[in-house]
Amino acid sequence: MLLDVRNLSVEYVTPKGPAYAVNDVSFSLKKGGRLGLVGESGSGKSTTVLALMRLLRGGRIEADGIDLDGRELTGLSDPAYRKLRFADMAMVPQGAMSSLNPVLRISEQMGDIFDDHGVRHGRSERRAILGDLLERVGLSANVQDRYPHELSGGMKQRVCIAMAIALGPDLILADEPTSALDVMVQKQVLATLGRVQRELGAGILLIGHDMALMAHFVDDLGVMYAGRLVETGPVRRLFAKPRHPYTKMLIDSLPSFERRGTFKGIPGVGPSLLTQLEGCPFHPRCPMATDICRSKRPDPRPVDAEEPRHLAACHLAEELS
């Protein structure tokens, strides 16, 4: 197993008290595998990624275990964690347009990854290595001499991908890596990300809110709601037989060929994260909710006889058709 996360929780300290942004999230990812996390905005996807990178601002992490390549990360010191970033676990950021420093050349911003991880190169060797990385993501080698403002959004995000693979990490965390880009460019950049990830043999955790785009990319999918993973499993099983009403509503809301352009959306709004709701966090919006949903919180459990990895946190999973 490449990554194994057990009961990860994150609380943000806010003026109004703790906000429970991520609650008891568990998932795992095998070597070279692709796991996607979807959920509406505010459901805790970015917080999960930042917690794995230990880059939360003002958040407190609790976890029974975060295992990367057989290494337990929860007790790791901050300096050791720094060395692990990008070397073992890299990240492709969300805001392609603003994630590069505006006053530094691309070569400097790529080069210091090597410098601060103790990888030394001669001048021309460094140029060649950076050029090679850029070519692998479909850019020309001399993009390294440019400043970010001279590049398009898609090119910037490709630069970020090139940086993520620079040290050959085993795991890439990509937080909505294409959401800031045009629809046309999104597909190309995602394809590039997929290609370099395969070439590298790295596992990838892809965050997104576009179920359709995700369905083509990942092997496994996790659906987050209010900081909880409400359903996980192989993406095909999830689409064929969703076992959580929220997942089903997400899938039903996708525009299809027959219902082109209509996007139903889901009625209601997500719960406040400041209080832990009694019962199932989804029950106020759930059309099927019964008494037990209002009183007892469902834990993720196997819901598919043919696929033991398909889990859902719903009392009524079996009744869903």
Ligand X SMILES: Nc1ncnc2c1ncn2[C@@H]1O[C@H](COP(=O)(O)OP(=O)(O)O)[C@@H](O)[C@H]1O
The secondary element (H helix, E strand) that includes residue 314 is: none
Tell the smallest beta-carbon distance from residue 137 to another protein (Å): 16
Indicate left, alpha or beta for 89 from its phi (over 0: left) and psi (-120 to 50: alpha): beta
Residue 99 as a binder of Mg ion (CB under 5 A): the answer is no
The reply on whether position 47 binds Mg ion by CB under 5 A is no
Q: Which residues bind ligand X (CB under 6 A)?
A: 12, 14, 19, 21, 39, 41-47, 57-58, 273
Smallest CA-to-CA distance from 173 within 88, 100, 235, 78 is with 88
Q: Is residue 153 near another protein by the rule CB under 8 A?
A: no
Q: Which residues on neighbouring strands pair with residue 171, listed in sequence order? A: 89, 203
Radius of gyration, alpha carbons of the chain: 20
* Residue 85 touching another protein (CB under 8 A): yes
Where does this chain touch another protein (CB under 8 A) — which range of 64-72, 112-120, 197-205, 292-300?
112-120
* CA-to-CA separations, 249 to 37, 40, 254, 273, 282, in angstroms, rounded: 16, 12, 9, 22, 12
Residue 129 in contact with another protein, rule: CB under 8 A: no
When asked if residue 104 is in the footprint of another protein (CB under 8 A), the reply is yes
Under DSSP, is residue 92 helix (H, G, I), strand (E, B) or coil? strand
| 46: contact with Mg ion by CB under 5 A | yes
Which of 213, 166, 179, 219 lies closest to 2 in space, CA to CA?
219
Contact partner, 86, from Mg ion, another protein, ligand X, none, Cβ < 5-8 Å per class: another protein
Using the rule CB under 8 A, is 135 a contact of another protein? no
Interface residues with Mg ion (CB under 5 A) are: 46
Name the residues that contact another protein, by CB under 8 A. 53, 55, 82-87, 90-91, 93, 95, 98-104, 108, 112-113, 115-117, 147, 149-150, 160, 163
